[in-house]
């Protein structure tokens, strides 16, 4: 091989090596709250607290703050979820129970308050809005919630009701698409309160002209048209298993490791034996756990229920058209936060299960390189 060809070969090797290194991009300095989205320019939005959303560049540079604490115009009292309307490129912000009873709209360019979205909604029935999404026609989908209490002899049991509602862009309530009720927590005066183990949750995503819905207990993911008609049910590859004594021990140990409950037990206001004796434990564990994701190519990503130890990060990648399933396993210290085009965004998780201020951005073809 002559010197010229050797130089060219070495240069190509360097370029390929550089591209391989850049396939996994580490973005530092992003404060990770509950919510995390990525816009079409790959800017990142994350909630800073219950009142403020921060917009970052794709490199982690802090660009602007959106919202502030309060009850006046442009204020956020108890942040629910936020999403960008693809028709207007404006940021819509919902609020939880006891928050401001409205959806606020902000500019994604400078964070300016643009007004509140006026929509048909019964605030006397529903207590909060934990999730919002849009379809490509500009229709708006809201998840609502409220807590319903049932009194027992020694305590009361709270069940959460979630409903998925569809609205026209001008705020007309078109229909209720889905409804789910499930027991969530229990309370007793002088004994503290406790979250029901292995609870069921509702997760859903809009995928162009389809709605993908999953309950954690269900072995099937339901796919609907945006008009609300059921198209198909896709079976998950994860088995439904009964709750064992070991599962309940894991749940108890997880609870006792939380600082709030450590303090409560030490101060004598929390009686764990009471709840073990009286709580209506579920018979089965969830099939899936965590948020549902759908990418731009129509693939659904659903995680196997990881248990309270969180040592299982197995995902089912499902083709929404033909139901074909591929199993993908991520390292347990990576928490999937968002999928945008061909990029996957993960947070790094420490040994205590806490998210660090580091986002790892990975191209789909390089997911196997995560360590």
Summarised one tens digit per residue, pLDDT across range 228-239 is: 899 999 999 999
Residues 6+ apart with CB under 8 A from 51: 67, 68, 69, 70, 75, 76, 77, 79
Closest CA to 146 of 96, 187, 192, 77: 96
pLDDT at 260 over 90: no
Q: What is the pLDDT of residues 46-74, one digit of tens each?
A: 998 889 999 999 999 999 999 999 999 99
Return the residue matching tokens 């007309």.
Answer: 172
* Stronger pLDDT, 23 or 289, i.e. the higher one: 289
pLDDT class of 261 with cuts at 50, 70, 90 = confident
How far does CA 322 lie from the centroid of its chain?
25
What pLDDT does residue 22 have?
54
Does domain 24-241+285-369 match CATH 1.10.2020.10?
no
Lowest mean pLDDT among 46-50, 59-63, 159-163, 284-288: 46-50
Distance CA 58, CA 75 (A): 26
Name the average pLDDT for the chain.
89
> Which sign, positive or negative, has the C-alpha torsion 69, 70, 71, 73?
negative
Specify the 3-state DSSP secondary structure of 274: helix
- Residue 28 pairs with which residues in a beta bridge? 358
Q: Report domain extents, the chain.
A: 24-241+285-369
Lowest mean pLDDT among 170-184, 213-227, 352-366: 352-366
Q: What is the pLDDT of residues 112-123, one digit of tens each?
A: 999 999 999 999
The proportion of the chain whose per-residue pLDDT surpasses 70, expressed as a percent, equals 93
pTM above 0.75, yes or no: yes
What pLDDT does residue 81 have?
94
What pLDDT does residue 357 have?
78
pLDDT class of 353 with cuts at 50, 70, 90 = low
* Stronger pLDDT, 52 or 9, i.e. the higher one: 52
Average the pLDDT over 303-309 and give the result. 89
pLDDT class of 289 with cuts at 50, 70, 90 = very high
What pLDDT does residue 351 have?
63
Q: What is the pLDDT of residues 10-52, one digit of tens each?
A: 444 344 334 444 578 999 989 888 899 999 999 999 998 889 9
For the record, the structure tokens of 68 come out as: 């502030």
pLDDT at 3 over 90: no
Distance CA 192, CA 203 (A): 29
What pLDDT does residue 34 have?
86
pLDDT at 171 over 70: yes
* CA-atom Rg of the chain in angstroms: 23
Burial track 28-55 (b if 16+ CB lie within 10 A, e otherwise): eebebbebbbbbeeebbbbbbebbbbbb
Residues 6+ apart with CB under 8 A from 146: 97, 125, 126, 127, 128, 160, 161
- Residue 44 pairs with which residues in a beta bridge? 38, 56
Average the pLDDT over 104-114 and give the result. 97
């Amino acid at each position: 091989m002559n010197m010229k060809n050797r130089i060219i070969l070495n240069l190509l090797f360097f370029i390929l090596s550089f591209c391989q290194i850049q396939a996994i991009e580490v973005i530092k300095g992003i404060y990770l709250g509950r919510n995390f989205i990525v816009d079409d320019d790959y800017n990142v939005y994350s909630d800073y607290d219950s009142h403020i959303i921060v917009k970052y560049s794709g490199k982690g540079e802090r660009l602007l703050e959106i919202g502030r604490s309060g009850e006046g115009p442009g204020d956020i009292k108890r942040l629910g979820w936020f999403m960008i309307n693809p028709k207007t490129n404006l940021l819509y912000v919902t609020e939880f129970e006891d928050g401001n009873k409205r959806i606020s709209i902000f500019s994604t360019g400078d964070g300016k308050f643009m007004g509140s979205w006026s929509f048909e909604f019964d605030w006397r029935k529903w207590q909060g809005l934990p999730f919002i999404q849009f379809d490509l026609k500009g229709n708006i989908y809201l998840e609502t919630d409220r807590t319903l209490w049932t009194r027992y002899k020694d305590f009361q049991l709270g069940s959460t009701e979630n409903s998925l509602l569809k609205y026209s862009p001008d705020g007309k309530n078109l229909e209720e698409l889905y409804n789910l009720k499930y027991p969530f927590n229990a309370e007793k005066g002088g004994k503290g309160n406790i979250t029901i183990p292995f609870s069921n949750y509702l997760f859903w995503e809009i995928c162009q002209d389809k709605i993908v819905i999953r309950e954690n207990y269900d072995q099937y993911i339901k796919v609907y048209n945006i008009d609300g008609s059921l198209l198909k049910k896709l079976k998950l590859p994860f088995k439904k298993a009964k709750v064992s004594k070991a599962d309940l021990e894991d749940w108890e140990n997880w609870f006792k490791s939380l600082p709030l409950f450590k303090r409560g037990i030490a101060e004598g206001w929390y009686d764990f034996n009471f709840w073990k004796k009286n709580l209506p434990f579920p018979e089965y564990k969830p099939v899936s756990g965590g948020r549902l994701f759908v990418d731009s190519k129509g693939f659904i990503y659903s995680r196997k229920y990881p248990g309270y130890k969180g040592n299982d990060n197995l995902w089912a990648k499902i083709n929404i058209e033909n139901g074909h399933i591929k199993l993908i396993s991520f390292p347990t210290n990576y928490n999937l936060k968002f999928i945008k085009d061909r990029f996957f965004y993960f947070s790094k998780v420490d040994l205590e299960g806490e998210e660090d201020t580091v986002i790892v951005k990975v191209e789909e073809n390089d997911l196997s390189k995560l360590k």
